[in-house]
Copies of this chain bind each other. A is one copy, B any other.
Amino acid sequence: MEILRFDSDYMEGAHPEILRRLSEINFEKNTAYGYDRYCETARQKIREACGVAGAEVYFLSGGTQTNAVAINAFLEPYEGVVAAETGHINVHEAGAIEAGGHKILTLPQHGGKIRADELLALLRKFYSDEAREHMVRPGMVYISHPTEYGTLYSAGELRVLRRICDEYGMALYLDGARLGYGLAATGTDVTLPLIAECCDAFYIGGTKVGALFGEALVLPQAGRIKQMFTRIKRQGALLAKGWLLGLQFDTLFTDGLYYRISAHAVRMAEKLERGFCERGYRMFIKTPTNQKFVILEDEVLRGLSRRVGFCFWEKPDEEHTVVRFATSWATKEENVERLLELI
């Protein structure tokens, strides 16, 4: 009996077009370290998608690595990064940010998001504290979009965070491990150009959105960070065959593939949510992206877990459990339907 797997959005390989092209160019001899033509065209397409002609784009292998490199690049040694207590860097990156010497200054999370008023309160408290020279200066704001809870910031919220960062001399960094699913969400007013306008750095996730692996780190303001190449190398994050990453992003950003496959995942998630709701289940949190958090009675959970893979999230009370179902670019509609038949 096959298990229907909705555990996460990084369980499959890559969009077939990527594999096709990798095979096609397999015996081409390419220059290493990102100086190849695929990286160059990929950069160009990403710049266009972001609407920033001069943006710097770097291709890295994974999310934790990208976060560590980017955050390290912007922070002074005596600075820390503000993040939601549930932020990926604060919980599930094994202390990679601290390994780089930086404290994470936490804010409460609201559906995985931070709130501007609480950020402001933190900053005002810091700057009115007479002992602040003994304290870690907030040098950056880290947000994930979509968040670890599948939620999204609005364009207005991003603009407010930007203004606060400007006011307090901070960088704004957006972790876009699942960015495609955020951009493709129904009703969002956040676009790549808006993100590029608001953020000092962000990454466009590939690993979870159609690539074999890889993330595209975008720095809209060229020249802001010196020696980014060497920084990446120093942190062990420079892939020798950079064109493997370049070609993947070139493919994803050709003819809107990245958006198209993201939109598919969102549609599948919406269908899944609709199905659960029609059957009387409640969502733990409302999300417009590819992650759906369903409150299940523990008895139902036990039955379902023999046939379906999902991710345990938390226990809101003694008799219920919140589980996460994640769709992806590769989710087959028939599998969503089969899941719904099981509940």
Residues on A lying within 8 angstroms of B by beta carbon are 5, 7-8, 10-14, 16, 19, 22-23, 25-32, 61-69, 72, 76-78, 80, 91-96, 98-99, 101-104, 130-131, 133-137, 207-208, 212-213, 226-227, 229-231, 233-241, 244, 309, 312, 330
Contacts and interface: CB of A to CB of B under 8 A. Distances in A.
B241 A10 contact: yes
Contacts of A61: 61-62, 239
Nearest to A8: B32
Contacts of A8: 32
A74 B77 CA distance: 11
Nearest to A233: B94
A66 B229 CA distance: 18
A216 to B, nearest CB: 16
> How many copies of this chain are found per oligomer?
4
A62 B238 contact: yes
A134 B101 contact: no
A99 B79 CA distance: 10
A13 to B, nearest CB: 4
Contacts of A94: 78, 133-136, 230-231, 233-234
A240 B238 CA distance: 17
A213 B236 contact: no
A99 B76 CA distance: 12
Contacts of A22: 13, 19, 212
Nearest to A91: B135
A277 B236 CA distance: 39
Interface centre among A31, A61, A239 (most CB of B within 10 A): A61
Give the 5 A-B residue pairs with the shortest CB-CB distance, closest first.
A65-B236, A13-B26, A94-B233, A94-B234, A11-B29
Given A62-B238, A213-B241, A26 B14 contact: yes
